[in-house]
Amino acid sequence: MKNIKIKVVCCVTILLLIALFTGCGKGSFSIEGTWDTVDHKGNAGIMEFKSNGTYISKVGMFQIGGNYTFENNKLTLVYGEEDPLNYEIDIIDNESIKYYSIDAEGNRTEEENGSMTKQN
């Protein structure tokens, strides 16, 4: 159950990070804020990215949080003692992104992917 919760939170977090990367170079994009997320399995949730480098991920009755970094369209989510989760972000526009899990070399693994849309 813990692994499922972690994967759901990671998917939601990835979606939010994708939203951040999608906005880069497109004017006033910012990852900060609240995002609706949907992973490749259809799991929906909410990701909230704060300006202090922390995030909260909510999926169903589960909620986790931690720290995030975003550089060069790469999003890293860190929470607790778990290994960091790394994602590549495709920015669609300032309010929508797609995310893909990546391995240590930066190659897409397709283990986790999905999309995120910024809430108004």
SS3 letters for 25-56? CCCCCCCCEEEEEEECCCCEEEEEECCCCEEE
Amino acid, single-letter form, for residue 77: L
Q: What is the pTM of this model?
A: 0.70
pLDDT higher than 70, residue 105:
yes
pLDDT at site 24: 45
Query: 2-118: what CATH class?
Result: mainly beta
* Mean pLDDT value across the chain: 82
- Alpha helix ranges (H) inside the chain: 2-23
pLDDT at site 111: 85
Cα→Cα distances 99→22, 95, 106, Å: 9, 13, 13
Of 15-19, 64-68, 86-90, 116-120, give the lowest mean pLDDT range: 15-19
pLDDT higher than 80, residue 26:
no
